[in-house]
Chain A
Amino acid sequence: MESAADQGQVHAGPPALAVERVSVSYGQFLAVESASFSVAAGESVAVIGPNGHGKSSMVTAIAGLVRRGGAVRVFGSVLPSGDPRAAVRAGLVLVPERRHLYPALTTRDNIMLGSYAHTRRIWARQAWDEVAGVVDMFPELTRLLDRKAGTLSGGEQQMVALARGMAAKPKILLLDEPCLGLAEAVTRRVYDWLGAMAGTDVTIVLVEENPVHALRVCHRAVRMYKGLLETAEPAGAQQAAVGRGGDPPIPPAVTAEPA
C-alpha cells in the first residue's frame, strides 16, 4: 500500500523550516544541544527518540514557547527567540503535547481562537464563521461545538487541538506526541488525518516516540538522544524494516535529504 508520505509534494527551493544550532537549557540542565536540521516545503519529518531526551523541548523552543540559543528560520526569515506570536504569524503552528485546550470554553471557542493571530474580527461569531470549515476535517466535532472542551474525551480533545491548529492556517505544523495516551482506534483516526495532511502543501514536523506510527506519514526521521539530534534516513527504508517484523528500528545517525 502506498503510504501517505509517498504522495506528499516536496518542493525545491529554500527550506520551509531551518533549525540552526538550537540549544535549550533549564537552569544548569542542557535539554537540547546544538540541534540543526531543515525541512523542505511540503515535506513531513518525524522527530523520534525515547522519552525525556529533548524532543518536546526542541519543538517548543522552535515554536517560541521557551527561550533558545541558535536560530530558527521560517522560509528564510529568522524567528525571534521566546516569541510564539511571531512564530504563529510566520505560519509555524504548534499542536502541543497534552493538547492545552481551554477546558471551560466551548469546542467552538477553542477552535475559533486558533485564528487569533490572524483574525481582524471583533466579534467571536464572525471570527468563527471564517474558520468553521476546519470542522469538515473532523466531522465528529460538529455535534460537540457547544460542549465545554473539558467535558470531551481524550480523543475528542485531540481533534479539537488539531482543528485549533488548522484554524491558524499553518504553513508548518509542529505536532508534539499527538496520540500520547489515546486509544488505538483514535490513534488510527489521527494518523489517517495526518496521512492526508502529508499529501498537502503543509509542512509537518511530527514528534513521536513510536517510529512505526511516525514513519507511516513522514518522509524521513531525525532522532533525539540525550539532547543531541542525530540525522535520518528516508522513511521507505524504515518502513521496510518495520514490515519485516520485530521491534521497530531506531534510525541510525545517517544523513538523507528528501528525494
Chain B
Amino acid sequence: MSQFLNLLAAGLTSGAIYGIFGACLAVWFRVCNVLNLAVGDFAMLGAIGTAVLVQQDHFPFLAGIAVDLLAVGAVAWVFDRVVLHLAFDRRSGGHGIVSVFFYTFGLSLVLEGLARAIFGTDVHAAPAIWNGPALTIADFHVQRAGVLVIAVAVVSGLVLWAYLHFTVSGRAASACGESVVGSRIVGINNALFRRWIFVGTAVLAALFGIVESPLTGFTFQSGPTISLIGVIAAGFAAFRRPGRAVVVGLGLGVAEAMLGGYVSTGYNDVLLYAIVFAIIILQPEVLGLSAAEA
C-alpha cells in the first residue's frame, strides 16, 4: 500500500508538470490557434532567473521572484508587440504550419541562446518556497515542493477552466480562436486577447518553473523538453482545453509512475505512445481529429 501511495505522489508531481504546461499551451492555442513552443523556455527563465537573482545577486527571495516574473512578462509582451503583431495584425506573416509552429519555435531558440550567454551552462534551482523535510504520513512520503507543484497545477487548471467557461471574457477569448471575423464584428479585440493570454501564460510558466525547480533543476536547455511535454498534454486535451490538460497530465504522470514502479521504467515512453494510438483509434474526437471538433 505504501509503495502505491508513494508512486501515486511521484506520479501526481510529474503529472502536474505535464498538466500545467499543457494548460498554458492549450489556453493560448484556443485564442489564436498557435502553439507556444517557447513555454518551456519561459519556465527556464523563471527558474534560472530567480536562482541567479537570489543566490548570486542577493535579492530578497520574494523580490527576486517579482523581478524575474516582470522580466519574463516584458519579454513576452515585446515578442507579441514586435513579431506576433506584424505576423497576425499586419498580415505580413505566413500561414498554416509557419504561423502554428515557427514564430514561437524561433523565440525558443533565441531565449535558449540568451540564457546560455547570460546564465551559463550550469544547473540552477530557485530556492524552495516551502522549506522543510518531506511530509510523512505512516510510510507515505511527499516532498513539500511536490505538494506545491500539484497545488499550483490544480488551482491554475481550475481557474483557467472557470474563466473560459463562466465569464464573458473567457467566452470571448474562445471566440477569437473560432472565428477572427466573427469575433471582430462583435467588438472583440483579438490582438488584446492574444497578447495578454500570451503574457499571462508566460508568467504562469515562469512561476511554475520557480516552484518546480527544487525538484528537477534547470539548465539553459531545459525549455524544449518542457514544451514537448506540454504539447503532449495539450494534445490529449484537443489543444484547446486547459482544465482537461491538467487532468490528463495528472493521469499520465500517475500511469507512468505506476508502470515504472510495478513493471519497468523502460516502458514509460511505450505507455505514452500506446495511449495516444488507442485514443486515435477509439476516440479521435478527444484529440480534435473529428469533423465535429474541427
B167 touches A124 (CB 8 A): yes
Chain A residues in 8 Å Cβ range of B121: none
Encoded as 1 (CB less than 8 Å from any B CB) or 0, chain A from 90 to 120 comes to: 0001101001111111000100111111010
A96 touches B185 (CB 8 A): yes
Task: Among B165, B168, B182, B184, point to the contact of A112 (Cβ < 8 A).
Answer: B168
A125 touches B181 (CB 8 A): no
Task: Among B171, B181, B187, point to the contact of A124 (Cβ < 8 A).
Answer: B171
B171 touches A112 (CB 8 A): yes
B171 touches A88 (CB 8 A): no
Task: Among A93, A102, A127, point to the contact of B174 (Cβ < 8 A).
Answer: A102
A100 touches B179 (CB 8 A): yes
A213 within 8 A of B: no
With most chain A CB atoms within 10 A of its CB, the pick from B171, B175, B185 is: B185
A124 touches B168 (CB 8 A): yes
A85 touches B174 (CB 8 A): no
B243 to chain A, nearest CB (A): 15
Number of A-B contacts (CB under 8 A): 87
A22 to chain B, nearest CB (A): 18
A58 within 8 A of B: no
B168 touches A127 (CB 8 A): yes
Question: Nearest chain-A residue to B184 (Cβ)?
Answer: A84
Task: Among B167, B168, B171, B185, point to the contact of A100 (Cβ < 8 A).
Answer: B185
A79 within 8 A of B: no
A124 to B251, CA, bound (A): 30
A116 touches B168 (CB 8 A): yes
Offer 17 A-B interface pairs, CB within 8 angstroms, sorted by A: A84-B184, A85-B188, A93-B185, A96-B181, A99-B182, A102-B182, A104-B178, A105-B178, A109-B171, A113-B168, A113-B186, A116-B172, A121-B168, A122-B168, A123-B168, A124-B166, A168-B186
